[in-house]
Structures are given as structure tokens and as C-alpha cells.
Amino acid sequence: MLEVENLSKTFRSGLAGRPCRAVDGVSLTVGPGQTYGLMGESGCGKSTLGRLITRLLPADGGKVRFDGVDLLTIRGRALKPYRRRMQILFQHPDTALNPRMTVLDSLREPFLIHPLAERGERDDIIREHIKHYGIQPELLERRASQVSGGQIQRVALARIMLLRPEFIVLDEPTSMLDVSVQAQIMELLGAVQAETGVSYLLISHDLDLLRRASGYMGIMHRGKLIEQGAAEALFEDPRQPYTQKLIRSFDRMKEL
């Protein structure tokens, strides 16, 4: 359903700045209802890849096919439905929502961009919707700045899901949260997927989390996807020396 082919992006920063090949010929496929886990060290290009796929950033080359349509060749109004169908959930709870707005106003925002329901029905839809995300009704009146990080991620996810997307980039969705809250958010993401059939590209530094959540996995290194495969196979029998080193160092860290 999502097919990425040979996707590339080079940043040229500064006058004398050397070109940085942030994403270098990446190809991957994410099927309906699947989670593809993307692992790699800081700066290897994971977030850039997520932004290229969702068209938040223009690519230099390659293809992003969504339901057979190459998104990189369409623009303007033709792109709007895809802006709804593909979403991105960011790492930082503090940037996900406007801190001065109430949670209710944040949840109303998707309807302003995509007219998915009549104006008079919207708040009822929101009140019903949040029950499935563990959000208490009292939270709706609070400002985002007065809400905990874990609750913000719940609201950010609920807001995205109001748009009924088919694919979401989860860019380190739990890395700013306490371990216990992390587990709750991962559980919620799993339940939402089981319920709706949405696909995820799950970006994380945490191999354990990726192993539990992903069917398929890819290892990124300096802009390239150096190894990919079924998550279990990749852990049991990594082919690339870099992947072997990564798994070994992660196992050692757990023993500390």
C-alpha cells in the first residue's frame, strides 16, 4: 500500500557547506495494518525520511507510491486527500499542540482543514472519540501547557485519528516519556491499529520497543537502509556487521 522507491534528499547548508546526503536511495514497503520499524543512530536520516514520505519536505528523487499513486508527481489540490490519509506523530509532546489552546480547540482543528463532519456534530464526535484514547472529558477544557506529556501524546494521536488516516509516521512517539507511560502509549498505538487497520512507520532508537511492535524492520545508517527484513529474522540472524554490532551493544546496555 505504501511503496517507497529509491528516495533521496541532499541538504546543502551554508555557502561553503558540504552537501549532506540525509536520505540516500531508500526503498521500503509498508502493507495495510502493518508496522515497519525504523532504527538508526541520531542523524542517520530517519526523520527526514518520514518527512519526505508524508510530503512535508520535497524529495530530490525517487518514488512514494500510496495506493499505486506516485505522490511526488502530484501537487496542489490533488495532494489534499493524501494530506489527510497520511499523518505524522512527532516526538516532542510540547510541540504537538499549541500550549495556549485548550485540548478541545486542538481537537477541533482537523475539522477546519478537512470538512469531515457538520459543524454542529463536531463536539459530539470529539467527546465520543476521546473515550477510545483514555482521555478524560475534564481534560478538554484544560490548556495543553497544563497537561502531562503522556496525555498530550494521547490527544495528539486522537487528533490525527479524527482524520481517519491510513498511514502514520510515528517519529519516536515515546522517547520523551517515562518508561511506564511509554508502555501505555505503545499499547494504545497497538489497540488503535488493531481497531482501524492503520499502518505505521515507527521510528525509534529503542531496539526492544521496535522488536515488540514491528512486523518488519529496517536499519538505517548514514542515509541508507543497509538491512531490512522480518523483525524476528533480523534479530535472530542479522546479516550486516553494522546490525550485528548494534544488536550486541544494545544487549550489553541492557545488562548494565
Ligand X SMILES: Nc1ncnc2c1ncn2[C@@H]1O[C@H](COP(=O)(O)OP(=O)(O)OP(=O)(O)O)[C@@H](O)[C@H]1O
Instruction: Pick the stretch among 13-21, 40-48, 148-156, 222-230 that binds Mg ion (CB under 5 A).
Output: 40-48
Strands of the 2-11 sheet, one edge to the other: 20-30, 2-11, 61-66, 69-70
Cell of 153: 501524546
Show contacts with ligand X in window 45-84 (CB under 6 A): 45-48
96 binding ligand X? (CB under 6 A): no
- The listed partner (ligand X, Mg ion, none) that binds 154, CB under 5 to 8 Å by sort, is none
- CA angle 234/170/237 to nearest 5° reads 5
Using CB under 6 A, pick the residue from 3, 5, 8, 11 that binds ligand X. Answer: 11
54 binding Mg ion? (CB under 5 A): no
20 binding ligand X? (CB under 6 A): yes
Binding mask 122-161 for Mg ion (x = CB under 5 A): ----------------------------------------
Strand 35-39 with 20-30, pairing: unpaired
Instruction: Pick the stretch among 44-52, 125-133, 157-165, 183-191 that binds ligand X (CB under 6 A).
Output: 44-52
Full DSSP string of 10-67: EE--SSSPPPEEEEEEEEEEE-TT-EEEEE--TTSSHHHHHHHHTTSS--SEEEEEET
Q: How far is the CB of 223 from ligand X (least distance, A)?
A: 7
> How many whole angstroms separate alpha carbon 194 and alpha carbon 33?
8
- Judged by the rule CB under 6 A, the positions of this chain that interact with ligand X are 11, 13, 20, 22, 40, 42-48
